[in-house]
A and B are shown apart, each in its own frame.
Chain A
Amino acid sequence: MSQRSERRGIHVDQSELLCKKGCGYYGNAAWQGLCSKCWREEYQRARQRQIQEDWALAEKLQREEEAAYVSSHSSSQTQPPQSHSQQSLATFSKFEEKKTNEKTRKVTTVKKFFSPSSRTAPKKVPPEKESEKQEKEEKLQGRRESHGENLLRDLKGIFTQPWEMASPTEESHEGKAPSPSITRQSSIETDRVSRDFVEFLKTLQKPGREVHKQSRGFIESMGNKKDLSAEELSECVQDFYQGMSDRLLNHFKGSSEKVDRVMDQVEKYIMTRLYKSVFCPETSDDEKKDLATQRRIRALHWVTIQMLCVPVDEEIPEVSDSVVKAITDIIEMDSKRVPRDKLACITSCSKHIFNTIRVTKNEPASADDFLPTLIYIVLKANPPRLQSNIQYITRFCNPSRLMTGEDGYYFTNLCCAVAFIEKLDAQSLNLSPEEFERYMSGQASPRRQDDPAAWPQSGSRVNPALSQIHHNLKLLSNLEKRQQQVTEGAQNLQTELAEWQDSVAREVQEILERYPLEIKPRASAIDAENVENDRLPPPLQPQVFAG
């Protein structure tokens, strides 16, 4: 990539980057591929249309109201009141308009405190002029900001929860603008990263000190640029990376591997601290895109492995394990702060995907297999803030990593997967448009429609959790059956026992009845009745022997 680095010129895939209107300026994805000027025009036009439509609607409503009023009053009164009513309504509507105007103005002024961006937003100029103008503006704003900042922080303090206060950039202000109104909670992670960074730089001696100084300085300067657009922030960070690596290469004569290592640390340090302020910034529409993507993926819940032609057999335990791991990794991406860590999550996810394909097909995965599987994983995972994360990585990752390495390849594939999901239609799933519509609207489900009898099986192929549930249900119903048997048995036993008890009792009773107990008088009869007793020898008498 070395030779392209030198072309710091207008170069890269021009036709793709130019404004879609063909005015010759460069377009921007955030402005739907238009340049700033065309975008503003387009935006204004759309707004104008909206306003006109609103007016038309309001007028229509008013006319209807008038008509109703007239019809209700025309019977009692004649011409003059009509004009009168019109007039009064007109004045009333004007009054209403004024009131709403006032309201919106109030809202925007309050908003101004919270989104500094609203100040710069309308002042968009073509990119060529922007850079010079920006410098002036920044100077001005820097001054303005320092006055407004304390107020802003205090206001923020009122409205933000205490745990949201400790933003990494705010910490960087410590040196120059301490504001006692905020009790700062230093994030543990930020501290740890800073410590690691210093430790790492100690091994570099003099260049290390320089790197540290530059990085700190840069973070502080970024603190003043909060109101820049995301693209401008990205430019700042990328310029810093470039400047730093150039300096390390040329000034300190570092080898490219060593420079890469230092740059990784620099990226980690800087981005951990800047994360809160530059991830999904208010100035961009990242959040809106996040929500759109999330909704889209949710709407596509019915897409099956077969439709995407994913070469993965989830019946194999190792495969379904890897699928779960891949999903976990891609979801975990959102929790990382450093772009490179996020990339590492994507890479790890991809490795698991390769494993699933390898186990299923028993051959190394090609891109033909990999991309559909990645799409499937993204659809299943519905990773949080996907667009924001992708934007964040493209904006703030060290480009040498993003453009060439393996990580870059997986990241590109993820971008492809998201692009595919966004544009996905009936044709890309080999469905007829009608079918696609029916699935999208939720009127039909592909599984049940295919073969109602095979539903549990196809379900198990689609989702391991589902098959688990199915399995558990079976177990449960088995258990229930067995329990019923046990209960029945127990009841039987109980009745048997009761019967047995009864029968024993009955038998005993019978026997008792049959052989009634006749108690014959014995004690008295021994002597009286027993004749034979007479024959007995007389009882021994104790005899006393003398001597």
Chain B
Amino acid sequence: MAAAESLGMAAAGGKTYSFKVVLLGEGCVGKTSLVLRYCENKFNDKHITTLQASFLTKKLNITGKRVNLAIWDTAGQERFHALGPIYYRDSNGAILVYDVTDEDSFQKVKNWVKELRKMLGNEICLCIVGNKIDLEKERHVSVEEAEGYAESVGAKHYHTSAKLNKGIEELFLDLCKRMMETAQAEERSRGNGASHTSTARRGVQIVDDEPQTAMPAGGCCTSG
């Protein structure tokens, strides 16, 4: 049965992608509302069933490929800023949220971008998100400035409103597509798209050319 399952998957021409996305941004910019709107389609609702909104998952099907999205919320308070690297380690995408009515929160986003590019290079897909566009009248961050900045750092810019449910689907869909492209490009560049390993190795790996099928137990070090 297991074999059939896996064969079926292979026939559909897809494997399951698993992506980790971190949400970064100052407190009160609406990170939580954003994900709750996306995963539960609720806003400030007393009937929200989830106990928490800090780790949410979403299953997607994009052009016949299955995607498991794990969204990691991070503590936005300034005093936790230094903990960022522990959170965004190994993430495929980052959503940097600011409040369009709050100039400061946009500055924070800029800091995050700088840090992420420095630590993770271009492997990570960045989305800069101006939230709360329902408060257009009180806007303090101009559209041109934000979009110009996003382009200059190779990030995409989105305008969203968790309250009105605007732009959120698009944001996550776009991000998933970009992450898939990055993943596929990487596969091609490694030239071994055939391998189907599902476990991620952490930390530093020394590239070895030996085939992985050699089990450690059968290795040479068992003599004793």
Q: Is A378 an interface residue (CB 8 A)?
A: no
Q: Is B61 an interface residue (CB 8 A)?
A: no
Are B195 and A6 in touch, CB under 8 angstroms?
Answer: yes
Cβ-defined partner of A403 (8 Å) among B57, B86, B202:
B202
Are A245 and B199 in touch, CB under 8 angstroms?
Answer: yes
Minimum Cβ distance to chain A for residue B115 (Å): 11
Are B32 and A6 in touch, CB under 8 angstroms?
Answer: no
Give 10 nearest A-B pairs by CB, closest first. Answer: A3-B183, A217-B217, A366-B32, A367-B73, A371-B75, A142-B224, A253-B3, A218-B217, A5-B197, A409-B55
Q: Is B18 an interface residue (CB 8 A)?
A: yes
Closest chain A residue, CB of each to CB of B187: A3
A to B CB contacts below 8 Å, 10 in the list = A8-B205, A26-B204, A252-B3, A258-B5, A351-B51, A357-B52, A367-B75, A394-B202, A403-B200, A409-B70
Q: Is B137 an interface residue (CB 8 A)?
A: no
Q: Chain A: interface secondary structure?
A: helix
The interface residues of chain A lying within 8 Å CB-to-CB of B12 are none
Q: Is A440 an interface residue (CB 8 A)?
A: no
The interface residues of chain B lying within 8 Å CB-to-CB of A400 are 198-200
The interface residues of chain A lying within 8 Å CB-to-CB of B186 are 3, 6-7
Closest chain B residue, CB of each to CB of A240: B216
In the bound complex, what is the Cα–Cα distance between A416 and B204 (angstroms)? 21
Knowing A3-B187, A416-B80 touch, does A221 contact B200 (C-beta < 8 A)?
no
The interface residues of chain A lying within 8 Å CB-to-CB of B32 are 364, 366-368
The interface residues of chain A lying within 8 Å CB-to-CB of B199 are 1, 5, 241-242, 245, 398-400
Minimum Cβ distance to chain A for residue B30 (Å): 10
Closest chain A residue, CB of each to CB of B192: A6
Q: Is B214 an interface residue (CB 8 A)?
A: yes
Cβ-defined partner of B76 (8 Å) among A17, A177, A252, A367:
A367
Minimum Cβ distance to chain B for residue A143 (Å): 8
The interface residues of chain A lying within 8 Å CB-to-CB of B6 are 249, 253-255
Q: Is B11 an interface residue (CB 8 A)?
A: no
The interface residues of chain B lying within 8 Å CB-to-CB of A178 are none
In the bound complex, what is the Cα–Cα distance between A26 and B203 (angstroms)? 10
Cβ-defined partner of B46 (8 Å) among A221, A362, A398:
A362
Closest chain A residue, CB of each to CB of B46: A362
Are A145 and B2 in touch, CB under 8 angstroms?
Answer: no
In the bound complex, what is the Cα–Cα distance between A357 and B48 (angstroms)? 14
In the bound complex, what is the Cα–Cα distance between A213 and B55 (angstroms)? 38
In the bound complex, what is the Cα–Cα distance between A138 and B219 (angstroms)? 11
Minimum Cβ distance to chain B for residue A226 (Å): 11
In the bound complex, what is the Cα–Cα distance between A398 and B220 (angstroms)? 24
The interface residues of chain B lying within 8 Å CB-to-CB of A331 are none
Chain B 59-79 residues near chain A, CB threshold 8 A: 68, 70, 72-77, 79
Closest chain B residue, CB of each to CB of A10: B204
The interface residues of chain B lying within 8 Å CB-to-CB of A243 are 212-216
Are A2 and B16 in touch, CB under 8 angstroms?
Answer: yes
In the bound complex, what is the Cα–Cα distance between A131 and B220 (angstroms)? 13
Q: Is B87 an interface residue (CB 8 A)?
A: yes
Closest chain A residue, CB of each to CB of B31: A366
Q: Is A404 an interface residue (CB 8 A)?
A: yes
Are A139 and B223 in touch, CB under 8 angstroms?
Answer: yes
The interface residues of chain A lying within 8 Å CB-to-CB of B80 are 371, 416, 420
Are A402 and B31 in touch, CB under 8 angstroms?
Answer: no
Minimum Cβ distance to chain B for residue A318 (Å): 14
In the bound complex, what is the Cα–Cα distance between A420 and B224 (angstroms)? 45
Query: CB-CB contacts of B179-204 with A at 8 A, as 1s and 0s?
Result: 00001101100101001111111111
Closest chain A residue, CB of each to CB of B118: A15
Report which A residues bind B (CB closer than 8 A): 1-17, 26, 127-128, 131, 135, 138-139, 142-143, 145-146, 176-177, 214-215, 217-218, 220-221, 223-225, 236, 238-247, 249-256, 258-259, 309, 351, 354-355, 357-358, 362-368, 370-372, 394, 398-400, 402-406, 409-410, 412, 415-416, 419-420, 423, 427-428
Are B201 and A238 in touch, CB under 8 angstroms?
Answer: yes
In the bound complex, what is the Cα–Cα distance between A14 and B89 (angstroms)? 11
Are B82 and A142 in touch, CB under 8 angstroms?
Answer: no
Minimum Cβ distance to chain B for residue A302 (Å): 18
The interface residues of chain A lying within 8 Å CB-to-CB of B83 are 371, 416, 419-420
Q: Is B153 an interface residue (CB 8 A)?
A: no
Knowing A253-B3, A255-B5, A358-B51 touch, does A127 contact B206 (C-beta < 8 A)?
yes
Are B215 and A244 in touch, CB under 8 angstroms?
Answer: yes
The interface residues of chain B lying within 8 Å CB-to-CB of A398 are 199
Are A128 and B206 in touch, CB under 8 angstroms?
Answer: yes
In the bound complex, what is the Cα–Cα distance between A239 and B199 (angstroms)? 11
Minimum Cβ distance to chain A for residue B13 (Å): 14
Are A405 and B70 in touch, CB under 8 angstroms?
Answer: yes
The interface residues of chain B lying within 8 Å CB-to-CB of A255 are 2, 5-6, 9
Are B50 and A142 in touch, CB under 8 angstroms?
Answer: no
Closest chain B residue, CB of each to CB of A5: B197
The interface residues of chain A lying within 8 Å CB-to-CB of B164 are none
The interface residues of chain B lying within 8 Å CB-to-CB of A135 are 220-221
Closest chain B residue, CB of each to CB of A410: B55
Knowing A139-B220, A224-B222, A259-B198 touch, does A251 contact B213 (C-beta < 8 A)?
yes
Minimum Cβ distance to chain B for residue A365 (Å): 4
Apart from the given pairs A254-B6, A255-B6, 18 other A-B contacts in the complex at a CB distance below 8 Å: A2-B15, A3-B184, A6-B190, A9-B207, A10-B207, A12-B205, A17-B204, A139-B220, A142-B223, A221-B221, A242-B197, A242-B199, A358-B52, A368-B31, A405-B70, A406-B55, A409-B54, A409-B55
The interface residues of chain B lying within 8 Å CB-to-CB of A1 are 18-20, 198-200
Knowing A354-B51, A364-B48, A370-B54 touch, does A2 contact B17 (C-beta < 8 A)?
yes
Q: Is B173 an interface residue (CB 8 A)?
A: no
In the bound complex, what is the Cα–Cα distance between A420 and B118 (angstroms)? 22
Knowing A17-B204, A354-B51, A399-B200 touch, does A409 contact B2 (C-beta < 8 A)?
no
> Interface centre among B52, B121, B207, B213, by most A CB within 10 Å?
B52
